[in-house]
Amino acid sequence: MENMAKIVFGFYTLIILGGSLVAVGAKSLVRAMVGLIATLLGVAGMYMLLNAQFMALMQILIYVGAVCVLIFFAIMLTRADAGGEEAASAPLRQNLLALTAVLSVGGILGWLVLTRPLATTGVPVEVSIEKLGLGLLGPYGLAFELISVVLLVSMAGAVLLAWERRNGK
Amino acid sequence: MNAIPAELLRIIIGLVAIAVSVGLIGLVMVWVERKVAGHIQRRPGPYEVGPNGLIQPLCDALKLVGKQLFMPKGADPILFWLAPVLAFLPVLLLFLPLPVGDGLQTLDVNLGLLLILAFSGLAVLSVLLAGWASNNKYGLLGAARGVAQAVAYEIPLLLSVLAVSFVAGSLDLAHVVKLQGTWPWNWNIMTQPLAFLIYIVSALGETNRAPFDLPEAESELTAGFHTEYSGMGFGLFFLAEYANMVVVCSVATALFLGGWHGPVLPGPVWFVLKVSALMLLMVFVRWTYPRVRFDQLLVINWKWLLPLAVANLLLTAFFVKLAQFA
């Protein structure tokens, strides 16, 4: 059973990594989005492996079913042919910055995983939706609210980006 | 050698049964649709091949399988062929948690309803990819309509389903069915008539059936998102549409119409009867109502279905809470 779990874990990891590589590297925006969808499905699989079925299904319902469809809508409203401005390779400075970002996050997470002892090795227990809801409104209220702040920041960022572009023209 | 686990065996048998029944349902529904369309338009429909034209869909299917597969110039080959597969594969998954009878379901999960809702979202993506990858303006227009429609109609659908699961306190289809009784006045449709209406209308929108078949409106967009598909590429979209209809009607049966409950006859028979009645209703609606305009489609959703569904959900939540105190 444990070996099975390891094989499945490897499989999902491959999907996530492959999907994200396509999402970052594809020349056409729509292909990049398909890569993103693969990544999100892989993450949903990881949740399934953690016995968090509700999270897995919500991941698919919200991210694949709604967010990706909206991204597609945005792509369709722009002229996003394969030879567009996104298709050109990025300048060196941008690549370096991207590498720094990846290394800093990956470094911290990797360091944490390698130095801290495992919290648990048991088979995960499924948490009922009722408990989940009570937890989000009770003891984990702060984390719940912080997530909404993240969403607000990303929305404000999107508006800001669009604004600067428009003023620049 | 170890014995095969019972759960795995159940899923394999279920998947085979699902694959067979999807194929059969496709054939039968094509015949029913053409017959109903014929009689509504005062012509006999197919009647040459077999008794009453019963063999006609089989011949059509064989013709479809034998056709050459084309891909338009300048299309994206990977996405173009991914789309029909993506349309059809999740459908098999959608059948897994459907409770046909008491204990007669392939996958007994406590989040079955959520599973169906989550994976039915992939159907929209296939419409989008098909329209985009075809490198055809009709395809692209169909896809653009598909997004706007699917995003809009998914919300009232979810809200109406939620109202029922509030009352039942569960997202498990079998559990929702168990709470209902034998006779029609024990079914959820009596307590949630508005939710049922909203569900049926938005289900028509979600499955791209007339009067909401704008993504493939043949009088405006040739065939919409699947204009460029030939042979089984089109066949898969076609099968997926009928299979989606069955899933939508089965969920409606389980949630609102008492599922396998019914007097005298055994449970699965009642389930199939109710699903067939709903399917027939969808076919009748298709051939009696004209296609709505796109702005009308959005008005129906955003100005009528959505506020009604929200009001219904709030009222339901209020009464559920009231019942808990009482």
Contact between A8 and A24 under an 8 Å Cβ cutoff? The reply is no
Task: Look at B151 and A70 and tell me if their CB atoms are within 8 Å.
Answer: yes
More reliable by pLDDT, B223 or B295: B295
B86 pLDDT more than 90: no
A14 pLDDT more than 90: yes
3-state secondary structure of B104: strand
Rounded average pLDDT over B253-273: 83
Contact between B94 and B104 under an 8 Å Cβ cutoff? The reply is no
3-state secondary structure of B5: coil
Q: Residue B185 CB: number of other CB atoms within 10 A?
A: 8
Based on the fold, state whether residues A97 and A57 are members of the same structural domain: yes
Please enumerate in sequence order all residues whose Cβ is within 8 A of that of B315, keeping only pairs 6 or more positions apart, or say none.
Answer: none
Q: Could you give the CA distance from residue A157 to residue A163 in angstroms, rounded to a whole number?
A: 10
Question: pLDDT tens, A81-95?
Answer: 655 555 566 677 888
Using alpha carbons, list the distances in angstroms from residue B282 to A46, B33, B69, B109, B245: 38, 10, 31, 29, 8
Contact between A68 and A36 under an 8 Å Cβ cutoff? The reply is yes
CATH code assigned at A30: 1.20.120.1200
A165 pLDDT more than 80: no
In DSSP notation, B258-311 reads -TT--SSS-HHHHHHHHHHHHHHHHHHHHHHSPPPPHHHHHHIIIIIIHHHHHH
Based on the fold, state whether residues A69 and A149 are members of the same structural domain: no
Q: Could you give the CA distance from residue A162 to residue A154 in angstroms, rounded to a whole number?
A: 12
What is the residue extent of each domain of chain B?
70-325
Please enumerate in sequence order all residues whose Cβ is within 8 A of that of B101, keeping only pairs 6 or more positions apart, or say none.
Answer: B260, B266, B267, B268, B271
Q: Could you give the CA distance from residue B55 to residue B225 in angstroms, rounded to a whole number?
A: 29
Task: Look at B118 and A65 and tell me if their CB atoms are within 8 Å.
Answer: yes
CB-CB neighbors (< 8 A) of A57 in chain B: 111, 114-115, 117-118
B35 pLDDT more than 80: yes
Q: Could you give the CA distance from residue B35 to residue B29 in angstroms, rounded to a whole number?
A: 10
Question: pLDDT tens, B149-196?
Answer: 888 888 898 889 888 888 888 888 888 888 887 777 778 787 888 888
Burial class (CB in 10 A: 0-12, 13-18, 19+), B246: buried
Task: Look at A61 and B118 and tell me if their CB atoms are within 8 Å.
Answer: yes
Contact between A12 and A31 under an 8 Å Cβ cutoff? The reply is no
A162 pLDDT more than 70: yes
Sign of the dihedral through C-alpha A152, B146, B144, A19: positive
| Bridge partners, residue B209, by sequence | none
CA A133 to chain centre: 23
What kind and span of H or E run contains B225?
none
In DSSP notation, B17-34 reads HHHHHHHHHHHHHHHHHH
**Predicted structure pTM score:** 0.82
CB-CB neighbors (< 8 A) of A65 in chain B: 118, 120-122, 124, 154
Contact between B177 and B258 under an 8 Å Cβ cutoff? The reply is yes
B78 pLDDT more than 50: yes
Based on the fold, state whether residues A123 and A43 are members of the same structural domain: yes
Please enumerate in sequence order all residues whose Cβ is within 8 A of that of A139, keeping only pairs 6 or more positions apart, or say none.
Answer: none
Task: Look at B125 and A54 and tell me if their CB atoms are within 8 Å.
Answer: no
Based on the fold, state whether residues A18 and A55 are members of the same structural domain: yes
Please enumerate in sequence order all residues whose Cβ is within 8 A of that of B321, keeping only pairs 6 or more positions apart, or say none.
Answer: none
Based on the fold, state whether residues A149 and A123 are members of the same structural domain: no
Contact between B254 and B177 under an 8 Å Cβ cutoff? The reply is yes
The structure tokens listed for B198 are: 């909203």
Based on the fold, state whether residues A135 and A88 are members of the same structural domain: no
What kind and span of H or E run contains B113?
helix B112-133
Based on the fold, state whether residues A54 and A134 are members of the same structural domain: no
Closest CA of chain A from B142, distance in Å: 12
Based on the fold, state whether residues A159 and A93 are members of the same structural domain: no
The structure tokens listed for B213 are: 């078949």
A150 pLDDT more than 70: yes
3-state secondary structure of B101: strand
Contact between B245 and B280 under an 8 Å Cβ cutoff? The reply is no
Helix residue spans in B179-230 (DSSP H) = 188-191, 193-206, 218-221
Based on the fold, state whether residues A69 and A110 are members of the same structural domain: yes
- Residue A155 has a pLDDT of 87
Number of separate domains in chain A: 2
The structure tokens listed for B274 are: 């109710």
More reliable by pLDDT, B218 or B303: B303
3-state secondary structure of B68: coil
Closest CA of chain A from B234, distance in Å: 21
Counting one residue from A and one from B, how many pairs have CB atoms under 8 Å apart?
69
A73 touches chain B (CB under 8 A): yes
Helix residue spans in A26-140 (DSSP H) = 29-49, 53-58, 68-77, 92-115, 129-137
Q: Using alpha carbons only, what angle is made at residue A102 by residues A101 and A107, rounded to the nearest 5 degrees?
A: 105
Task: Look at A58 and B118 and tell me if their CB atoms are within 8 Å.
Answer: yes
**Whole-number percent of chain B with pLDDT over 70:** 98
Based on the fold, state whether residues A74 and A16 are members of the same structural domain: yes
Residues of the domain holding A134: 128-169
- Residue B1 has a pLDDT of 47
Rounded average pLDDT over B317-322: 86
A67 touches chain B (CB under 8 A): no
Q: Could you give the CA distance from residue A160 to residue A154 in angstroms, rounded to a whole number?
A: 10
Which residue in B79, B111, B124 is closest to A54 by CB distance? B111
Q: Could you give the CA distance from residue B23 to residue B25 in angstroms, rounded to a whole number?
A: 6
Based on the fold, state whether residues A20 and A92 are members of the same structural domain: yes
A34 touches chain B (CB under 8 A): yes
- Residue A42 has a pLDDT of 92
Task: Look at A69 and B76 and tell me if their CB atoms are within 8 Å.
Answer: no
Question: pLDDT tens, B135-145?
Answer: 778 888 888 88
Which candidate, B272, B242, B249, places its Cα nearest to that of B203? Answer: B249
Rounded average pLDDT over A11-37: 87
Question: pLDDT tens, B111-132?
Answer: 888 888 888 888 888 888 888 8
Contact between B178 and B117 under an 8 Å Cβ cutoff? The reply is no
